[in-house]
Amino acid sequence: MPLDDRSEEIYMPEEDTYLLLRAALAEAGHGDKTLEIGCGSGLISRELIARVECLLATDINPYAAKLTKTGGIEVVRADLFGGISGKFDLIIFNPPYLPTQKEERTLGWINFALDGGKTGRETIDRFLKELKERLRSGGRALLLISSLTGPKEVREKAMAEGLDVKEVANERCFFEQLLVLRLEVAHSVNGRSTSLQRSMPIQTINKNNK
């Protein structure tokens, strides 16, 4: 298919996008070398680019990559960190987090934004496995997950990969609770895990309907 306008193939901003955006705006610093994985429509990258030192966006979806590029963002079409070199101060990811059975999959590129596999954590686990090696000293990541994803299991996986985890934002929607986790490389002091960066206050929003 030609790379024309296929908005139905692109994940457009929803509650999870805006929650992650608010957390990213609170976290970002002017000296941050920043990476957004799974940029979708490009909203978060467009809002952040003037607030950080430099920004690179990626998406496996060619239509999402093309749309984001029209906003003046440097974009690489990639699967997670594939083809991306270097380390970053801030990494932002709104992954596919919905538990999805084979018969529930959506046709087309949009499925990559929605399908988290049977547990909802298949892509998240791959991300966490690589994250530690992609963060600069003092670097951190913001990861959007859902109560449907298994937050306990996500935290356990992150800690097993040598990462400290802190919830920095949440929002109650109709059938789920959205969470933003702040991740950074764990450092041990007297046998206890600690981190080098400042902690953000938790932002809590309640909504009865999507």
| For residue 191, pLDDT beyond 50 | no
pLDDT at 210: 30
Count of structural domains within the chain:
1
User: What pLDDT score was predicted for residue 5?
Assistant: 60
The answer to the question of residue 1 being in a domain is: no
In a domain, 146, yes or no: yes
Contact predicate 111/104, CB 8 Å: no
**Domain annotation covers residue 3:** no
Give a three-class secondary structure readout of 104-157: HCCCCCCHHHHECCCCCCHHHHHHHHHHHHHEEEEEEEEEEEECCCCHHHHHHH
Phi then psi for residue 192, to 5 deg, are -115, 140
Within-domain flag for 2: no
User: What is the per-residue pLDDT across 101-136, written as a single tens digit (0 to 9) for each?
Assistant: 888 888 899 988 988 899 999 999 999 999 999 999
The amino acid that residue 125 corresponds to is D
Q: What percentage of the chain has pLDDT greater than the value 90? A: 75
Is the confidence at residue 85, as pLDDT, over 60? yes
Q: Would the pLDDT of 9 be above 90?
A: yes
Is 160 within the bounds of a domain?
yes
Q: 113 with 11: CB under 8 angstroms?
A: yes
Domain assignment of residue 92, yes or no:
yes
pLDDT for res 164 = 98
pTM listed for this prediction? 0.87
Residue 28, pLDDT > 90, answer yes
Domain that holds residue 151: 8-206
Query: What CATH number did the domain enclosing 127 receive?
Result: 3.40.50.150
